[in-house]
Amino acid sequence: MATTTTKVETFVGKRIRRREDPRLITGTATYVEDIQMPGMNYAVIVRSPHAAARIRSIDTKKAEAAPGVVCVFTGKDTKGVGAVPCGIVMPDLRVPQHTILATDRVYFVGHPVAVVVARDRYLASDAADLIEVDYEVLPAVANPEKALAKGAPAVHPQWPDNVAFTYHQDGGDIDKAFAQADVVVKQRIVSQRLVPMAMETRGVVAEWRGADRQLNLYTSTQIPHLVRTLVAGMLGLEENRMRVIAPEVGGGFGSKLNVYAEEALMGYVSMKINKPVKWIESRRENFTCTIHGRGHVDYYEVAAKRDGTILGIKLKLIQDVGAYHQLLTPLIPQLSVLMMPGLYNTPNIRADIVGVFTNCVPTDAYRGAGRPEATHGIERMVDILAAELKMDPAEIRFKNFVNKDNFPYPTATGLMYDSGDYATPLEKALDLVGYHKLRQEQTDLRKQGKYMGIGISTYGEICAIGPSPATPAGGWESATVKIEPSGKVTIMTGACPHGQGEETTFAQIAADELGVGLDDILVIRGDTAIVQYGIGTFGSRATAVGGTALYYALQDLKAKVKKFGAMLLESEDVSLIGGQVIDNKTGNSKTFQEIAGATYRALKLPPNTEPGLMATRFWEPPNFTFPFGAHIVVTDIDNETGQIKIRRYVAVDDCGNILNPLIVDGQIHGGVAQGLGQALWEQAVYDDNGQLVTGELTDYALPRAHMMPWIESQHTCTPSPVNPLGVKGVGEAGTIGCSPAVVNSVVDALSPLGVRHLDMPLTPEKIWKVLATKN
């Protein structure tokens, strides 16, 4: 029988390599595409080539007669399946009926029209080419501002103004703030559409077991439990007859925080043919059919005193919704409004959001989801204000930071910032980069006609999502811990990490609490038949919420272990140390193995005690957490080509207590890569007809490894009082802090030419045109 290692070594706070990496980097992990079943069939989806069109007819006869074809379904066959859900409720929200296959009309390029199922995917693909759809092409609109213009094509005929929703928020007295202002600065700022681009595209395997009335759904998702509830509802299936398994998930970044038509469609097909069916998204489909992120057009106005004190901020936010709402679409711009004060003592705000339907794929959560857009806007405006007042951009930030003695801090948008010390990360970043020396060097270079810029961004974000009243499906998380009869420890978490490293950090937490070794612990997630309940992994909540549920389950379990240990030792004064219960008076001890064995044999139980060593906790957070930090980027601009070279990248982040510095640094680096992508290269571009012209990796410019700068990453630590771990979350930090720092740096470099603002992406072509025009 295996034995539990007795250790007093602690693990939390150490740079421990991720336990999940060996299987991920050696190709031995199991993704949806790796799942094979006897009698498996393969599905290919026929999609619209038009952004807007009526469907006059669909002829499937040739496809049905093609070799190997099992069945073909169109929208008329699937009318009984429920609509793709939108999880947000708002007073004036317009929610179009989002069927899993188009019926009489298509609304974006890639809209699913039919599905072909065959014995193998190549036969299905060949047959899909034989389906003839007669379209009546209609005018389309792909630009949210143009969609709001009078006379624009109506995306949904029942709403000719293309308004999907409106939202208004006031805090303080914005009119008084602007009346008292010495200066007002205004700017239109765009956060362009982005493609989330996970390494693993989406995929679904559905297996209907008719004899058992059981549907097993393997899907690449961040939220298996929510998929179980919502897809079961779409299919009219009892929830307890459905099992959802998320095996390894090769990246999500929010795009897999959703319920997609294909998940219900594959379930429908499998139930109809009573055989397993697999659909794997192509990269082209991933571009055109998985949600996009961002898509903001923001109009900012900032009122300030002559000394740089910010009095108030106005924002008109136009959100490109796309053709439909997905699960959280209307919520994303609201997150931007919540965080529009940034780290600054801004008592007065006014925000107006208008969500706009366009003939494009829907937008929804993408890494940071609303917070990168908010931070980019306010950090650009602070730099614009500093330039207007001829102040140093660092000085104006120090002047407006919320003081560290004022926490918890209520914002004008209704949040309560948990804890913070905003000046320290910026001071540390300035020291690290050698700020004053760089400014002198910049002055010297400008005399030589060279353009070097120094960009600062300070950011705050809303994490650990979140309290249930603020989330559409509950904001709690669950964890179960059991000590097996052998003494080994199994953790089952409702959080469903997909590359964040919680198999390691959760094991670190449990190892320290129980006093056992990391190798004694197994972490299970992503299977609704094993992990009974959960919400999922998004919004930097896995450790802050799921880890806290685990922490409290461990406390319950420790109490039970001590109770059994005391019984076996016939003592009332015991301690749990190093995987043993020790009699504090005699020094006698019992190991986990001895205690677990006695607990499961249950020959003699302490009073009011059940057999077994298992504990389950649901944890409801009382508040969000609010990480923060400061990023500084130094850039050099090539006068001849417009190329931007990042000379220094300094990131000082405060995510509260750090459980594993190696994993935190990895999250920062990955986030910075995505922030750089938005700042410099990436953009989903639709033409006026609604065709995605950046629909392949050959014309959608992702950052590659050789394009990444060296990131000088350091941390400060301000523990959160919201949870006993003191953690805040770090998954989005790099993305949020990066893009404004880069753009501020480039604008700073080009400011001698009179450049005041540039929208992302800052491609060489765009910079070259600026240099050619201004020089």
Q: Kindly report, residue by residue over 508-553, the tens digit of the pLDDT.
A: 999 999 999 999 999 999 999 999 999 999 999 999 999 999 999 9
Distance CA 760, CA 747 (A): 11
Mean pLDDT, rounded, for 210-219: 97
Does position 171 have pLDDT exceeding 60, yes or no? Answer: yes
Mean pLDDT, rounded, for 645-652: 98
Does position 7 have pLDDT exceeding 70, yes or no? Answer: no
3 state DSSP class of 225: helix
DSSP 588: -
Strands of the 521-524 sheet, one edge to the other: 521-524, 489-493, 477-483, 614-619
User: For residue 4, what pLDDT is reported?
Assistant: 43
Give the model's confidence band at 499: pLDDT under 50 very low, under 70 low, under 90 confident, else very high.
confident
Does position 54 have pLDDT exceeding 90, yes or no? Answer: yes
Does position 718 have pLDDT exceeding 70, yes or no? Answer: yes
Give the model's confidence band at 8: pLDDT under 50 very low, under 70 low, under 90 confident, else very high.
low
User: For residue 605, what pLDDT is reported?
Assistant: 87
What are the Cα distances from residue 764, in Å, to 62, 195, 643, 675, 751?
Answer: 49, 20, 5, 17, 17
User: For residue 606, what pLDDT is reported?
Assistant: 86
User: For residue 586, what pLDDT is reported?
Assistant: 95
User: For residue 466, what pLDDT is reported?
Assistant: 83
Give the model's confidence band at 2: pLDDT under 50 very low, under 70 low, under 90 confident, else very high.
very low
Does position 770 have pLDDT exceeding 80, yes or no? Answer: yes
Mean pLDDT, all residues of the chain? 96
Distance CA 529, CA 547 (A): 21
682-692 tens-digit pLDDT? 999 999 999 99
* Spatial CA neighbour of 357 closest among 677, 142, 115, 661: 142
61-90 tens-digit pLDDT? 999 999 999 999 999 999 999 999 999 999
3 state DSSP class of 284: helix
250-297 tens-digit pLDDT? 999 999 999 999 999 999 999 999 999 999 999 999 999 999 999 999
Strands 105-106 and 521-524: unpaired
b/e 676-714 (16+ beta carbons within 10 angstroms → b): bbbbbbbbbebeebbbbebbeeeebbebeeeeebebebe
Residue type, 553: A
User: For residue 709, what pLDDT is reported?
Assistant: 97
Mean pLDDT, rounded, for 391-415: 98
Query: Residue 448 burial (CB < 10 Å; 0-12/13-18/19+)?
Result: exposed
3 state DSSP class of 218: strand
Largest CA distance in the chain: 88
Does position 50 have pLDDT exceeding 50, yes or no? Answer: yes
Q: Which residues contact 644 (CB under 8 A, 6 or more apart)?
A: 635, 636, 637, 638, 680, 746, 762, 764, 767
